[in-house]
Amino acid sequence: MPLFACSPPSPPPPPNRSLSVRSKKDGQSDRGSTKSGPAKHRFTMASLRGMQQPDLSKKLYKLIKTESHCISAYEAAGRERASIASQLSDWGEATNDDTISEISDKLGVLLAEIAEQEDLFCQSLEDSRSVLKQIRNTESSVQPSRDQKAKIADEIAKLKYKEPTSTKIITLEQELVRAEAQSLVAEAQLTNITRQKFKEAYDIHFAGTIERAEKQIMLAKQARRLLNLVDDTPIVPGDTHPTFDQYEAARQVLNDAEEQLRDWRPNNEPINSNAGSLGAGAMPSTSGASGASVTGSGGSIAFAGQEYSATRAYTTEQEGQQQTIEGAHPAYRKDSPERSVRDESSVA
Amino acid sequence: MPLFACSPPSPPPPPNRSLSVRSKKDGQSDRGSTKSGPAKHRFTMASLRGMQQPDLSKKLYKLIKTESHCISAYEAAGRERASIASQLSDWGEATNDDTISEISDKLGVLLAEIAEQEDLFCQSLEDSRSVLKQIRNTESSVQPSRDQKAKIADEIAKLKYKEPTSTKIITLEQELVRAEAQSLVAEAQLTNITRQKFKEAYDIHFAGTIERAEKQIMLAKQARRLLNLVDDTPIVPGDTHPTFDQYEAARQVLNDAEEQLRDWRPNNEPINSNAGSLGAGAMPSTSGASGASVTGSGGSIAFAGQEYSATRAYTTEQEGQQQTIEGAHPAYRKDSPERSVRDESSVA
């Protein structure tokens, strides 16, 4: 009897399961296209702290943890690259070859900028990660309301079997209706936050990926211009390469690279969001919605097609308690015109 | 008395030293634009093995070592990203939200491909690194010939001071001329290899950087298309999101991404090289050069403007030994028309 209003009415199976990275539960091997071969054995948990997370947020908790490892790895790569940049310049100086000395030094500058871009990328990943945390936090705060509902339903079932005439059943059934009302709100909050923050997190993630890539392309192309200033015509013993006379050209490459970086602007297709109307308490803000709303201590809440207030809720609970046990909560399970009305208003 | 023919005739100071990553010897702080703050203390050597390298190749040895750490970091980042991809898909499935389930799964596929690109990038870095090793190996093989020359010159100087009449001086002076001939060849080999392989290594490095970037941009842009299939309009409690009906669109995004990846071709300005004429023994191949050449056991060698053979070399040594001590080796120090002739022939 899942009350979670968003659970899909048995969705059609995705058209092609080979286009999925979902872990196969039957131990089938993963996507054949990755060349990683047999996966190394790794502990599934990096820390036992994950075990204290409620079931609902465990998967996302782990993902956020892995994302943190990933960011650390990129940070390390950026540090190493910055270090390579200055080592390259030092090596070039030590060759006593004016061409190699000059070009390696300028190349070092570009490599250091490329390393800097890895760092900025880490910042984007970190921003994306902290948005995912908002989903995770909502998930863990929704867990108790699910648990509470299940616990009360369980008690009622036990009691009905052992003492079918107990008056405690009626009290418990009232409690269950209240728990279900709370749970409906929690689940709506969860789905609202999940969809909005999911889009937001990966918007940031991929915008960061594109920014790093576009900037590194500019830098790498300028670096290739620098390389072309090195004359690698072989010499015979006793001969020398002509004196390097491309200082200006090399300098110009850096100037051009700087200018390009300064002029760079993001140019992505926007991610569209309708979540702008998501108000306090992770509920739609009520302007233009046909459903009535109450301002309670938890913020303004609109229920689908229902006038809903604390008083009315309790009344409804008592009227509907019998049905509640058998089926959905009468206050919220009615099909309502709410969605279509709101959709129209958001189009207008 | 440096015989190294390529040492620059006091090159003009580069126009702007702030555009450099070269490590400051006077302890000045590095580029102000990096936000790294005070650098963490790290051991300068990851292994003592580096200390066994000859001086000449020490810097490059370290750089190659650091490059290896950098590659490991990228590999780790790629592994974590691949793991995140499948965790994201699993989380999406567990939400019981058909939209999130489908989109997170497809997004996971794109994330896994992005991770795969990090892996390919590591391969490019590795290829670039192995080209740098060829410079390092040449550097370490040139060191003994420098040492040998210095040692003989030293002995002669000592002997001249202590026993100016010793006949051993003449033998040593003959040895010195031979050592200098060897050294001239070694230094020419070094500069030829250094310039050619420097260009080659960073050609590969930056081509790899561009390839990763271009492919990740394509994948990230497709991923953003996927995100736009998520309807994040907030719902009120008891309401549900409409059933997800964008399976075909989501599938199409993956197909498009696959097609773009398949159609990707490198489109870089080529790095020009004149090193094609670099023959065996790291010497210019002799076709078209005016200098004569000999085929010795070490391969074919042309000296600048000189007929040079084993027999003739030793004759020259004896004739020129007096000068040799005071100045450059007579066989190779003549200004020769060799370069200009070769330049013309390479233009033609």
Can you name the residues that pair with B302 across neighbouring β-strands? Answer: B293
Q: Which of A70, A233, A284 sits opposite B234 (nearest CB)?
A: A284
Do the Cβ atoms of A272 and A266 come closer than 8 Å? no
Distance CA B131, CA B136 (A): 9
Question: Any bridge partners for residue B296, and if so which?
Answer: B299
Residues of chain B positioned with their CB less than 8 A from the CB of A339: 235, 239, 242
Q: Which residue of A has its CA nearest to B55?
A: A94
Best A206, A290, A303 member to test B by mutation, with max B CBs in 10 Å, is: A206
Distance CA B36, CA B180 (A): 47
Mean pLDDT of all residues in B48-58: 74
State whether residue B10 is helix, strand or coil: coil
Residue B67 has pLDDT above 70, yes or no: yes
Whether residue A73 and residue B80 make contact (CB cut-off 8 A), yes or no, is yes
With contacts defined as CB-CB under 8 Å, which chain A residues touch B301? 236-237
User: B156 to chain A, minimum CA–CA distance in Å?
Assistant: 23
Chain B nearest C-alpha distance from A214 (Å): 7
CA distance B85 to chain A (A): 7
- B236-271: pLDDT as tens digits: 998 989 999 999 999 999 999 999 999 999 988 888
List, in order, residues 6 or more apart from A331 with CB less than 8 Å away.
A181, A303, A306, A308, A313, A316, A317, A320, B238
Report the half-sphere exposure of B133 (CA within 13 A, side-chain side): 10
Q: Do B62 and A240 touch (CB under 8 A)?
A: no
Contacts of B342 in chain A (CB under 8 A): 233
Instruction: With both helix axes pointing from N to C terminus, report the angle between B98-162 and B168-227 in degrees, rounded to the nearest 10.
Output: 170
Distances (CA, A) of B189 to A97, B3, B278, B279: 13, 14, 10, 10
Residue contact A11–B254, C-beta within 8 A: no
**Measured between CA atoms, how close is A151 to chain B, in angstroms?**
21
Distance from CA of A106 to the nearest CA of B (A): 6
Residue B82, pLDDT score: 96
pLDDT score of A304: 59
SS3 B229: coil
**Which of B19, B203, B16, B198 is closest to A221 using CA atoms?**
B203
Look at residue A74 and give its three-state secondary structure: helix
Which chain A residue lies closest to B139 (C-alpha atoms)? A95
Question: How far is B164 from chain A, CA to nearest CA, in Å?
Answer: 31
Are A271 and B227 a contacting pair at CB < 8 A? yes
* Mutation site, B239, B259, B264, interface A, largest A CB count within 10 A: B239
Pick the residue with more confidence: B22 or B171? Answer: B171
> Radius of gyration of chain A from Cα atoms?
31
As a whole number of angstroms, the distance between CA A3 and CA B239 comes to 11
What is the per-residue burial (b if ≥16 Cβ within 10 Å, else e) of B221-231?
bbbbbbbbbbb
ipTM: 0.73
Give me the pLDDT at residue B44, please: 57
Which residue from B21, B230, B283 is facing A85, i.e. has the nearest CB?
A: B21
* Chain A contact set for B221 (CB, 8 A): 206, 210, 268-269
- Answer whether B234 sits within 8 Å of A192, measured CB to CB: yes
Q: Where are the beta strands (DSSP E) in chain A?
A: 293-296, 299-302
What is the least distance, in Å, from the CA of B39 to any CA of chain A?
10
A133 vs B7, residue with greater confidence: A133
DSSP result, B269-285: PPPP--GGGB-GGGSB-
Q: What is the pLDDT of residue B289?
A: 40
CB contact under 8 A, A70 and B80: yes
Q: Give A347→chain B minimum CA distance, Å.
A: 11
Q: What is the mean pLDDT of residues B297-320?
A: 43
CB B280 within 8 A of CB B296: no
pLDDT at A52 (0 to 100): 72
Q: How far is B41 from chain A (nearest CA, A)?
A: 13
Cβ-Cβ contacts under 8 Å, B223 against chain A: 202, 206
Which of A21, A217, A251 is opposite residue B89, by nearest beta carbon?
A21
Confidence band (pLDDT; 50, 70, 90) for B21?
confident
Residue B186 has pLDDT above 90, yes or no: yes
Residues of A in contact with B105 (CB under 8 A): 14, 20-22
Which residue in B141, B158, B139, B160 sits closest to B150, CA to CA?
A: B158
Strand partners, A284: A278
Q: What's the average pLDDT block by block, 10 residues per block, for chain A (348 residues)?
A: 41 52 56 43 57 84 96 96 96 94 96 96 97 95 91 94 90 94 93 95 97 97 96 91 94 96 92 79 62 41 49 37 37 38 38
Give the model confidence (pLDDT) of B196-251 as tens digits: 999 999 999 999 999 999 999 999 999 999 999 999 999 999 898 999 999 999 99
Summary mean pLDDT of chain B? 77
Q: For residues B273 and B288, what is the distance between their CA atoms, to the nearest angstrom?
A: 18
The two beta strands, B293-296 and B299-302, are antiparallel
Nearest to B133 by CA among B56, B61, B51: B61
Burial of A74 per CB tally in 10 Å (0-12, 13-18, 19+): buried
Contact A235 B5 (CB under 8 A): yes
Cβ-proximal residues to B326 (8 Å cutoff; 6+ apart), any chain: none
Q: Using alpha carbons, select from B135, B161, B151 the residue that is nearest to residue B53.
A: B135
Nearest CA in chain A to B334: A238
Most confident of A37-46, B160-169, B338-347: B160-169
**Mutation test of the interface with chain B: which of A233, A248, A340, choosing the one with the most B Cβ atoms within 10 A?**
A233
**Which of B7, B93, B198 is facing A96, going by the closest CB pair?**
B7
**Can you give the pLDDT at residue A36?**
42
Q: Supply the pLDDT for residue B281.
A: 78
What's the pLDDT at B18? 52
What are the extents of the domains in chain B?
Answer: 283-348
DSSP string, A219-265: HHHHHHHHHTTS------TT--PPPP--HHHHHHHHHHHHHHHHH--
The reply to whether residue B36 touches residue A209, judged by beta carbons under 8 angstroms, is: no
**If DSSP codes are grouped into helix, strand and coil, which group holds residue B43?**
coil
**Which of A4, A21, A192 to mutate against chain B (most B CBs within 10 Å)?**
A21
Q: What is the mean pLDDT of residues B182-197?
A: 94
Q: Enumerate the residues of chain A whose CB falls inside 8 A of the CB of residue B220.
A: 206-207, 209-210, 213
Question: What does pTM read for this prediction?
Answer: 0.73
Residues of chain B contacting A282 with CB distance shorter than 8 Å? 234
Chain B residues close to A223, C-beta within 8 Å: 202, 206
Q: Residue A61 in contact with residue B94, Cβ under 8 Å?
A: no
Q: Cα(A145)–Cα(A187) distance, rounded to whole angstroms?
A: 9
Of A109, A93, A103, A97, which Cα lies nearest the Cα of B201?
A103
